[in-house]
Amino acid sequence: MRHMPLILALLAILAVAPGVSAQGKLEVLSSEAENRFPNGIIFRLEVETSNALKKATLSYRVGAEGSFRTAAPPFAPGRKVSVEHVLGSRAEGSYLHPNVEIAYTWSLEDTAGNRLETPLTTVVYKDTRFTWRHVERDGVRISWYRGGETYAHQLLDKAVADLRRAALIAGVDKELTVEVLVYPSVLEMRDALPWKSRDSDPKLPTFGLQVSPKTVLLLGGRPDTARTLAHELSHIAVRQGIGYIPSWLDEGLALLAEGDLAPEHAQALERAVQQDVLYSLQSMTEVPDPREPGKVWLFYGQAYSVARFIIETGGGDKLRYLMAMLKDKKSFDDALREVYGWNTDGLELDWRDSMGLPPHLGRAAIETEVTPEQALAQKSTFGGFQAFGALAASLLGLFFLFPLAILWLATAAFVVCRRKRWE
């Protein structure tokens, strides 16, 4: 009996030991995450249990700012069970950007009620096709794999200056961090892009993209790489410092950061103004599909013009005040009304007036959500109906008036002849 306390202590230890219970064993033999860039990550788990495995749930979080999601992949029953789940593949339907951190854990339960949870583990989804090099300063990290360090340092200097400028314009006073992954060719960058962008029109390749609040993919070695970098870093400053703002304002500020409006955007805007087939601001919730370049160019041209109008109307201080209110989670219309006296519709009407356009067409576009392409088609159709109506009216007129004209001429000839006979 003197060994009883020791026996009880051992029993207590066994009772709380992970994977062990009075009803049998539940043990993880292996757990791994295999990087299959650009086709996602495969999470694999091998389990041994004295009883049948009832449930295996993967909980994962993509990025530090994300929330945990769950997946319950199917598995074949047995004492030794293998479970797999793919994340970030096209078939599975999600997108993972390079260098994103994924935290994950497995929760297990067998038919006897035994439960087990694996430790929270973090894996980084890297573009393993290349050997990356890095330079960094003041919160900016440039990662590249082809070319010399001189070019990388030039990009770093430009990025540091652009990020500071973007933060000043948006009124962001917090420390910002960003990693810019530089790809030297369209083909090599393509596999790192979101699925939709990989299918974009060849006439409109992606030159740069902010894929997370802290990550930018950049196509290097182009004449306008510097403009693209300034554009994407404006998005970074807004996302980290303010949060989410209307897409047209976000893009408009990014285009202003580039400098002058690109020719294709300016021409698309000019044509739309001439024909009065502009987007309504209420409909500009996201950049159009990249497979439709004309729509994208008009979206950018209009976003640039409206953002410039806001700054020219109230100056930089008012814009920063607006952004501060948006950071405090005030609704956009409420913030806009307090700072400028507009709501979104009122802003659009004043902007249209500055472009020499009447208010009613823009108003109709807002209420009916007619796209510029639909409006142009409607104008063309209406014009066709007008032309057809005019032609039909002319033909009907000839049909009825021609006999009357003949009758009048015949009557006149008869009268003339009678007069001659009387004379």
Domain stops at, among 97, 125, 153: 125
Range of the structural domain that residue 325 is part of: 244-373
Give counts: helices (H), strands (E), the chain: 12, 14
Tokens coding 159: 């990025």
State the pLDDT at residue 197.
86
Residue 392 resides in a domain: no
Residue 31 resides in a domain: yes
If you search the block for the tokens 């109307």, which residue do you land on?
313
Beta-sheet strand order (sheet of 80-87): 20-21, 24-35, 41-49, 80-87
Question: Rounded to an integer, what distance in angstroms lies between the CA atom of residue 138 and that of residue 213?
Answer: 17
- Kindly report, residue by residue over 36-90, the tens digit of the pLDDT: 999 999 999 999 999 999 999 999 999 988 899 999 999 998 889 999 999 999 9
Domain stops at, among 125, 160, 188: 125
Residue 352 resides in a domain: yes
Same-domain pairing of 83 and 139: no
Question: Rounded to an integer, what distance in angstroms lies between the CA atom of residue 358 and that of residue 353?
Answer: 6
Same-domain pairing of 148 and 29: no
State the pLDDT at residue 416.
41
State the pLDDT at residue 24.
79
Please report, for the domain that includes residue 213, its CATH number.
3.40.30.160
- Kindly report, residue by residue over 251-293, the tens digit of the pLDDT: 999 999 999 999 999 999 999 999 999 999 999 999 998 778 8
Residue 361 resides in a domain: yes
Same-domain pairing of 163 and 275: no
Same-domain pairing of 250 and 367: yes
Question: Rounded to an integer, what distance in angstroms lies between the CA atom of residue 62 and that of residue 48?
Answer: 28
Same-domain pairing of 77 and 165: no
State the pLDDT at residue 411.
53
State the pLDDT at residue 293.
87
**pLDDT < 70 regions, the chain:** 1-23, 202-203, 360-423
Q: Residues 191, 192, 198, 201: is their CA dihedral positive or negative?
A: negative
Burial class (CB in 10 A: 0-12, 13-18, 19+), 45: buried
Same-domain pairing of 102 and 193: no
Please report, for the domain that includes residue 62, its CATH number.
2.60.40.10
Report yes or no: 135 and 149 within 8 Å, Cβ to Cβ: yes
Residue 267 resides in a domain: yes
Same-domain pairing of 56 and 141: no
If you search the block for the tokens 């009916």, which residue do you land on?
368
- Kindly report, residue by residue over 92-107, the tens digit of the pLDDT: 889 999 999 999 999 9
Residue 383 resides in a domain: no
Tell me the pairing of strands 133-137 and 121-125. Answer: unpaired
Same-domain pairing of 214 and 309: no
Same-domain pairing of 111 and 186: no
Number of domains in the chain: 3
Tell me the pairing of strands 178-183 and 140-144. Answer: parallel
State the pLDDT at residue 360.
63
Same-domain pairing of 63 and 89: yes
Residue 279 resides in a domain: yes
Q: Which residues lie across from 181 on neighbouring strands?
A: 143, 217
Same-domain pairing of 29 and 108: yes
Domain stops at, among 217, 242, 267: 242
Residue 382 resides in a domain: no
Q: Where are the beta strands (DSSP E) in 38-139?
A: 41-49, 53-62, 69-71, 80-87, 100-110, 115-117, 121-125, 133-137
State the pLDDT at residue 186.
93
Same-domain pairing of 267 and 341: yes
